[in-house]
Amino acid sequence: MKNEKLYREAMQLLPGGVNSPVRAFKAVGGEPIILVKGKKARVWDADGNEYIDFLASWGALILGHAYPKVVKAVQEEAQKGLSFGLTNPHEITLARLVVEMVPSVEKVRFVNSGTEATMSAVRLARGITGRKYIVKFDGCYHGHYDSLLVSAGSGVATFGIPGTPGIPEEIAKLTIVLPYNDVEALREAFDKYGEEIAGVIVEPVAGNMGVVLPKKEFLEELRRLTREKGSLLIFDEVITGFRLSKGGAQELFGVEPDITCLGKILGGGLPVGAYGGRRELMDRVAPEGEVYQAGTLSGNPLAMVSGSETLKELRDKEPYEELGERTERLAKEVSRILLDKGIPHRINKAGSMMTVFFTDQDVYDFETAKRSDTEMFAKFFKALLKNGVLIPPSQFEAWFLTTAHEDDVIDEALERIDKAVKGL
Ligand code: PLP
């Protein structure tokens, strides 16, 4: 068994056998699979098993695996050199696409991951306002930067870690954590700390406690209060950017943040992050301004063409309605399958992302998300995997659809899910 052999080797060489914790399948048990190939909506492991993939590289893919136009552009660019460390034309192309597509962004700085994007956005907010406090919401995950790894979702939620050793108390204290969707708590925090809050960072649709939708007044009140108190509103659209609509959640809800963080889809499968906003804010970033941030591989030409080709497809084809309809059908049918088996659940969805929670109550924040039966989730995950359906190996994540998840793929996935659930 190649998979098993590779995993044993990985365990000797990488902490936990992985380079990102949730990949270790700890929350669901069993040995993680090692993937060797992806095509359209499917992936294959080292033993040759095929899976319909709803992980989609944690949402980084929206056109499916190995999308021909993207692969071709990367191959052609690779022939010309892999990295220069000075500006290349593709940075301008991608920046133009971002500015054109994301409503609040007039200027953008590229980095290499979502974590770098949120870290830099927080620094910029502190640099511009001269204030130190950052507000974040319980269950939102913004990457593994010190100030934002407090009461976080995703892997931190999966492993039940309140914070992490390595972050001094003095730093953690500068982060105010509030419940998601709680307008009252927000008003109270602003009453108390308003003049000291540099910025508020939020996933405008949460994906990292599982999918949780924002109440309308939550985002609106966030916008109003930050404006009134001179704090910067940071939308972390690392997941939602280019996924919920071509302009992300801000376009969908008509609420414009001061700074937007992007990642995942932005790189079309290669490592790219970005933060952007109004010109006068972004001009405070070095070398134009005094807030320092830099990167040897930032704007890497391969990553820029991969991102540009992906965004061009999204801009020109606008596949969002179709993606939404297919997700709706998937959710409805999965729900029916679970009901037939008498398994209590709630499915939250937004556009092409969804989460099945194993609870009989609505999920609207981290506390309600945590009511989900994670043992049931683990059984469900394993049964799906055995039947050739890959979903994220944790309750507190989102399933993602891509444009390659066409109707016949959804049908096939539903057959496999039905068989898996019947066998539970
Ligand atoms: N922000 C959000 C909303 C995310 O979901 C993630 C990663 O899952 C990040 C930031 C961090 O991005 P990265 O893993 O690229 O550092």
Judge if the beta carbon of residue 263 lies within 6 A of ligand 1: yes
Q: How far is the CA of 250 from the centre of ligand 1 (A)?
A: 18
Per-residue pLDDT band for 161 (boundaries 50, 70, 90) equals low
CB 13: neighbour CB atoms within 10 A? 7
**pLDDT of res. 157:** 64
Q: Does the pLDDT at position 156 exceed 90?
A: no
Judge if the beta carbon of residue 141 lies within 6 A of ligand 1: yes
Q: How far is the CA of 299 from the centre of ligand 1 (A)?
A: 18
Judge if the beta carbon of residue 114 lies within 6 A of ligand 1: yes
Judge if the beta carbon of residue 91 lies within 6 A of ligand 1: no
pLDDT by residue (tens digit) across 97-150? 999 999 999 999 999 999 999 999 999 999 999 999 999 999 999 999 988 887
Q: Of 26-35, 157-166, 367-376, which range is least confident?
A: 157-166
Per-residue pLDDT band for 169 (boundaries 50, 70, 90) equals confident
Q: Residue 266: how many CA atoms within 13 Å on its side-chain side?
A: 38
Judge if the beta carbon of residue 113 lies within 6 A of ligand 1: yes
Ligand 1 atom at minimal distance to the Cα of residue 208:
5
**pLDDT of res. 13:** 98
SS (H, E, C) the chain: CHHHHHHHHHHHHCHHHCCCHHHHCCCCCCCCCCEEEEEECEEEECCCCEEEECCCCCCCCCCCECCHHHHHHHHHHHCCCCCCCCCCHHHHHHHHHHHHHCCCCCEEEEECCHHHHHHHHHHHHHHHHCCCEEEEECCCCCCCCHHHCCCCCHHHHHCCCCCCCCCCHHHHCCEEEECCCCHHHHHHHHHHHHHHEEEEEECCCECECECECCCHHHHHHHHHHHHHHCCEEEEECCCCCCCCCCCHHHHHHCCCCCEEEECHHHHECECCEEEEECHHHHCCECCCCCECCCCCCCCCHHHHHHHHHHHHHHHHHCCHHHHHHHHHHHHHHHHHHHHHCCCCCEEEEECCEEEEECCCCCCCCHHHHCCCCHHHHHHHHHHHHHCCEECCCCCCCCEECCCCCCHHHHHHHHHHHHHHHHCC
Judge if the beta carbon of residue 142 lies within 6 A of ligand 1: yes
Ligand 1 atom at minimal distance to the Cα of residue 118:
10
What is the reported pTM?
A: 0.97
Q: Which CATH number is associated with domain 68-317?
A: 3.40.640.10
**pLDDT of res. 150:** 77
Q: Which residues are catalytic?
A: 141, 236, 264
pLDDT by residue (tens digit) across 27-84? 999 999 999 999 999 999 999 999 999 999 999 999 999 999 999 999 999 999 999 9
Residues contacting residue 29 through CB under 8 Å, at least 6 positions apart? 378, 382
**CB contact at 8 A, 234 and 127:** no
Ligand 1 atom at minimal distance to the Cα of residue 237:
3
Judge if the beta carbon of residue 154 lies within 6 A of ligand 1: yes
Q: How far is the CA of 244 from the centre of ligand 1 (A)?
A: 16
Torsion angle in degrees (nearest 10) through CA of 276, 280, 281, 284: 110
**pLDDT of res. 110:** 98
Domain map (residue ranges) of the chain = 2-62+319-422, 68-317
pLDDT > 90 fraction of the chain, expressed in percent and rounded: 92
User: What's the rounded Cα separation, in Å, for the pair 185 and 387?
Assistant: 44
Residues contacting residue 79 through CB under 8 Å, at least 6 positions apart? none
**pLDDT of res. 232:** 98
Per-residue pLDDT band for 178 (boundaries 50, 70, 90) equals very high
Q: CATH assignment of 2-62+319-422, given 3.30.70.260, 3.90.940.20, 3.40.190.10, 3.90.1150.10?
A: 3.90.1150.10
**CB contact at 8 A, 5 and 15:** no
Per-residue pLDDT band for 194 (boundaries 50, 70, 90) equals confident
User: What's the rounded Cα separation, in Å, for the pair 266 and 269?
Assistant: 8
- For residues 180-213, b (16+ Cβ closer than 10 Å) or e, as one string? bbbeebbeebbeeebeebbbbbbbbbbbbbbbbb
- Mutational pocket test of ligand 1: of 110, 122, 141, 147, the residue with most ligand atoms within 8 Å of the beta carbon: 141
pLDDT by residue (tens digit) across 261-315? 999 999 999 999 999 999 999 999 999 999 999 999 999 999 999 999 999 999 9
Average pLDDT, the chain: 96
